[in-house]
Amino acid sequence: MIAILMAAYNGERYIAQQIESILNQTETGWKLTVRDDCSRDATVSVIRRYTEKYPEKIGILETEKNSGSAKNNFFRLMEDADGDYVMFSDDDDVWLPEKIQTTLLKMKELERNFGAGAPLLVHTDLKVADENLRVISPSLLRMQNLKGSRDRLSNLLSQNIVTGCTVMANRALICTALRAGIPEHAVMHDWWLALIAAGFGGIGFVDAPTVLYRQHGNNEVGAKNSGDLRYNLRRFFDPAQVRSALDGTYGQAREFYVKYGKKLKENDRAVLEAYCSIPEKSKWGRLAAIGKYGFWKTGFYRKLGQIWFS
């Protein structure tokens, strides 16, 4: 069985479309759990209409205290997930009809290669859409100049290429994550799971979109065009934001080392130690470590940012 975990917050405008897209999947072996994070609109009422109509397929978790972020909401959902596989859903996207089937086929392929007991993760590309679901870009990864197959630990420490709403994780990955406790310094749940899969199992990428990734004014994480000069200039003239983002990756890496460092293969542990030590080095020492261990991000502007702000 596939457990679909949806983190909801003030999603009354779009959540029905997302639930309908899940109900219309070609693969039917799933159960959806929606965790409402103290919405202040009619989100809960919308969800309840579906739980009453499809009680065997859809459940709701209501909370008395807001978790503080989508990341925390998803980690709380993971604690109660009991499926053989786990998928993550935002409350404002639309899944394409064969999303679950396509992702599951890739997961089965990974299991044949790595074994079902290894922590495994599958992710896909997305179509970027406006709030009315008109397609803005046929590929989020190409829009952001990301490579979905760039999934070595050295790559993932500096840059996430996994979008959570496309992810399928197997039971071994979820258990490995939960045994170490919910991380305080993870940037996002999808990035954290990708690090675990890269360090201890495997990652599979489907180079095709399975989601309409809706962009609107309330997105917690949105799609940015990496080639947009104005966007990159704003970043360049906001060094505090860039350094904060870099510091977030170092804090995440340090916590990953504390929780998992001793269990990693020797080469991966050395890579992780090198990344954790970058802030302690001189500027030239930082750049040398980035080059030696392959911590470069994709894209000209991102690399320029690493050089300038390191």
SS3 128: strand
Kindly state whether residues 96 and 238 are assigned to the same domain.
no
Residue 224 domain-assigned (yes or no): no
Residue ending a domain, choose from 169, 189, 214 = 214
Residue 28 contacts by C-beta under 8 Å, 6 or more apart in sequence? none
Average of pLDDT values for 205-223?
A: 83
The two counts, helices (H) then strands (E), for the chain are 13, 9
Residue 222 domain-assigned (yes or no): no
Kindly state whether residues 51 and 154 are assigned to the same domain.
yes
Kindly state whether residues 180 and 138 are assigned to the same domain.
yes
Q: How many domains does the chain have?
A: 2
The answer to whether the CB of 168 falls within 8 A of the CB of 104 is: yes
SS3 85: strand
CATH number at residue 197: 3.90.550.10
Cα gap 25→286, rounded to integer Å: 47
pLDDT in tens, 143-160: 999 999 999 999 999 999
For the question of whether the overall pTM of this predicted structure is more than 0.95, the answer is no
Kindly state whether residues 120 and 172 are assigned to the same domain.
yes
Residue ending a domain, choose from 181, 214, 247 = 214
For residue 81, give its domain range.
Answer: 2-214
Extended strands (E) in the chain: 2-8, 30-36, 58-62, 85-89, 94-95, 120-129, 135-137, 168-170, 202-214
Examine the pLDDT at 236 and tell me if it is beyond 70. no
Residue ending a domain, choose from 179, 214, 249 = 214
Token look-up 């180079």 returns 207
pLDDT in tens, 266-295: 999 999 999 999 999 999 999 999 999 999
Residue 126 domain-assigned (yes or no): yes
